[in-house]
Amino acid sequence: ETGVTQTPRHLVMGMTNKKSLKCEQHLGHNAMYWYKQSAKKPLELMFVYSLEERVENNSVPSRFSPECPNSSHLFLHLHTLQPEDSALYLCASSQRGTAQNTGELFFGEGSRLTVL
Amino acid sequence: KNEVEQSPQNLTAQEGEFITINCSYSVGISALHWLQQHPGGGIVSLFMLSSGKKKHGRLIATINIQEKHSSLHITASHPRDSAVYICAVSLRGTSYGKLTFGQGTILTVHP
């Protein structure tokens, strides 16, 4: 138990569906992240939220839409996805430290997404 | 060429063996992370270091900033150590701890 909870753990959706991934952290951290892990590829940063403000969008297609309503919750809204978007989506949180540093990352278990 | 390179990509060991996984990076960093990912997918942070050496139980991580190289050592390896070990770096100059990841090392420890 890392203190970061993701739901659902598994999701299968069609290309025309709209779904959302949810992440909740119970650690009092002030930064939250979405990462994507595709088969045979390194983890890729998608979005960073710090103090509920999006501070990083790593050239992610608009069919992925993040939302951070408060410092404990992070969503990833999905619509009109493609089969190549099938991957493990990992949420993480950290306590942002000094300007050029970050605290240790705490990851959720991930949401495995399959797009048919 | 990736900014973070790990070797080996796959590693098989017998229980009790001493294991070393290497990580080299080509960018300026503020910190280096070693992460462990089990088959279920969840990732656990093992170490975050910016200099020297850290030890936790049977795990030891070292970093040489001048050579841009880090190693993760596992002493007296055990089958439960079987996992993917990932090296990641926090890029210097980014305020929000943007991480760049290596491709991971798949470790299998046989009893």
Q: In this predicted model, what pLDDT tens digit does every residue of A11-61 receive, in sequence order?
A: 999 888 899 999 999 999 888 999 999 988 888 989 988 877 777 777 899
* Whole-angstrom distance, CA of residue B101 vs CA of residue B95: 17
Report CB contact under 8 Å: B33, A105.
Answer: yes
Comparison of pLDDT for A39 and B34, the residue scoring more: B34
In angstroms, what separates the C-alpha of A104 from chain B's closest C-alpha?
Answer: 6
Residue A83: phi, psi to the nearest 5?
-55, -30
Mean predicted confidence (pLDDT) in A95-108: 70
Give strand pairing partners of B19: B74
Whole-number Å distance between alpha carbons of A105 and A113: 22
In angstroms, what separates the C-alpha of B20 from chain A's closest C-alpha?
A: 20
Contacts of B95 in chain A (CB under 8 A): 50, 55, 96, 99-100
For chain B, give percent helix, strand, coil, nearest 5: 5, 60, 35
What gap in Å lies between CA B49 and CA B56, rounded to an integer? 12
CA angle A107, B106, B111 (to 5 degrees): 110
Amino acid letter, residue B54: K
Per-residue model confidence as pLDDT tens digits over A67-93: 999 989 999 999 999 999 999 999 999
Count contacts between A and B (CB, < 8 Å).
78
Average pLDDT value for chain B: 92
**B41 and A104: CB-CB below 8 Å?**
no
With 80 as the cut, is the pLDDT of residue A101 above it?
Answer: no
